[in-house]
Structure 1
Amino acid sequence: MTTYDAILFDNDGVLVDPPGHGDQLAAIRDAFDELGIDSPDEDHLSALTGGVTPELLADLERTYGVDREALWAARERHDERSQFEAFRAGRRETYEDVGALSDIAQPCGLVSNNHHTTVEFVLDRFDFADAFETYYGRPMTIESLSLKKPNTHYLDRALADLGGGSALYVGDSESDVVAAERAGMDSVFVRRDHSRDASLSTEPTYEVETLHAVRDIANDAR
């Protein structure tokens, strides 16, 4: 079995509940309302919940006659607020098995496609700070979209922070598995309820259902 020098984790859907789609849509409606755009197309609202590209924002700029930077800033601001509210209201919590993190011997890091500020909020709210020696989310800029996984940018930075070597990345999406592969890392795909029936075109190194299984993989590989 491979010896791992570091274990890296995704956040949403691995450590904490993923954002609710209804909450995301409501936040994006608020962003359009702030910009004075009435009755935006439902497909555009849905497209802005995930997988956003600079090309999509350029298209929305043309469609609604609003500056793409202003649209993205409003989207990010309301999305961040919505996520904080969901955590504070108890609609989003940690998974019950996060205690397994304390039993992992290797240094751990966190790499998320979510906002860096939201990652910091989660670390503080759930007292995760001691579990991770480094962490990365993305800044709230259009430029950050090109650095999201499956880009390896933040995985590479996190591993460098932890001293390099071999690493295992734990995620709940195909982009997580692809990013790990591109970064030269092994991957763990966690099949939570929301990803139970997901079909992957890229095979992960491991598939598990709990973080207890991740702990066992990490510790057995020491």
Structure 2
Amino acid sequence: MQPAALIFDLDGTLLDSAPDIHAVSNAVLEQYGYAPLSFEQVRSFIGHGVPHLVDCLIKASGADPEHGLAERMIPDFNRIYEEAVTLTVPFPGVHAALETLRAAGHPLAICTNKPMGPTRSTLGHFGLTPLFDTVIGGDSLPTRKPDPAPLRQALADLGGGPALYIGDSEVDAETAQRAALPFVLFTEGYRKTPVETLPHARAFSDFAALPGIVAGWPWDAR
């Protein structure tokens, strides 16, 4: 059997980027004259892409969403976000796990709701770009996760065949389910609900365990 393609979410799965997203959010709010929000507030907004996050920032600040406020904020957010790598770090063991999986012949891809500009900037900053055969960002297609189209596009770019999706959130679980792909849950990311409430085939808390989980697939056959 050919090695399964492995498609990864980014924020909350490979990278702990919430501190930078929090800093960018408060910088944009300050620019528009609004008070800063707490880390936990902003962290809870992550996962659905920048337009959703900006809408949440506006609502949480009590701002009037009319008069095109979000449309003005989004470009400013993205401009700052593209350079926001000061506080972001890969989760422990990410580099080693990805290198092991790639060496085993698994095609690797990213499917994220993060816009392509900051996605490519962040991957490049951490030296991860060469490990991935394709990258689908939140603005690569007309729709974002949990619509399955971005995940399906990532798989098509890899040539199709068997695949697993690795993510950390409710959005990722729903995306995998709608794309009919097995979902592997990283439990240390940004999910808001208990692990047992999310549909998943396997779960892990340490990236050192991921190559073994992948090597055991297809699990139902064992």
Which residue matches 1:102? Answer: 99
Tell me, in whole angstroms, the C-alpha distance in 1 between the residues paired with 2:16 and 2:149: 24
Q: Secondary structure at 1:175's aligned position in 2? A: helix
Report the alpha carbon displacement of residue 113 of structure 1 after superposing the two structures with TM. 0.8
C-alpha RMSD of matched pairs (Å): 3.5
Report the alpha carbon displacement of residue 8 of structure 1 after superposing the two structures with TM. 0.5
Report the alpha carbon displacement of residue 203 of structure 1 after superposing the two structures with TM. 1.9
Tell me, in whole angstroms, the C-alpha distance in 2 between the residues paired with 1:198 and 1:73: 36
Tell me, in whole angstroms, the C-alpha distance in 1 between the residues paired with 2:24 and 2:45: 6
Q: In the alignment, is residue 125 of structure 1 matched against residue 114 of structure 2? A: no
1:93-140 deviation per Cα after TM superposition (whole angstroms, max 9, x unaligned): 112211111111310100111111111012211111221100111229
Which residue matches 1:92? Answer: 88
Q: CA distance change for structure 1 residues 40 and 201 in 2, over 3 Å: closer, same or farther? A: same
Which residue matches 2:12? Answer: 13
Report the alpha carbon displacement of residue 76 of structure 1 after superposing the two structures with TM. 4.2
Tell me, in whole angstroms, the C-alpha distance in 1 between the residues paired with 2:36 and 2:110: 35
Whether the 8 Å contact between 2:9 and 2:167 is mirrored in structure 1 is: yes
Whether the 8 Å contact between 1:12 and 1:112 is mirrored in structure 2 is: yes
Q: Secondary structure at 2:16's aligned position in 1? A: coil
TM-score, length of structure 1 as denominator length: 0.75
For structure 1, which runs of at least 5 residues remain unmatched after alignment? Answer: none
Tell me, in whole angstroms, the C-alpha distance in 1 between the residues paired with 2:165 and 2:138: 17
Q: What amino acid does structure 2 have at the position aligned with 1:128?
A: L
For structure 2, which runs of at least 5 residues remain unmatched after alignment? Answer: none
Q: In the alignment, is residue 169 of structure 1 matched against residue 170 of structure 2? A: no
Q: Secondary structure at 1:84's aligned position in 2? A: coil
Tell me, in whole angstroms, the C-alpha distance in 2 between the residues paired with 1:137 and 1:201: 27
Q: What amino acid does structure 2 have at the position aligned with 1:63?
A: D
Q: Percent identity?
A: 21
Tell me, in whole angstroms, the C-alpha distance in 2 between the residues paired with 1:47 and 1:171: 16
Q: CA distance change for structure 1 residues 95 and 27 in 2, over 3 Å: closer, same or farther? A: same
Report the alpha carbon displacement of residue 65 of structure 1 after superposing the two structures with TM. 4.2
Tell me, in whole angstroms, the C-alpha distance in 2 between the residues paired with 1:93 and 1:220: 28
Q: In the alignment, is residue 23 of structure 1 matched against residue 19 of structure 2? A: no
Q: Which has the higher helix share?
A: 1
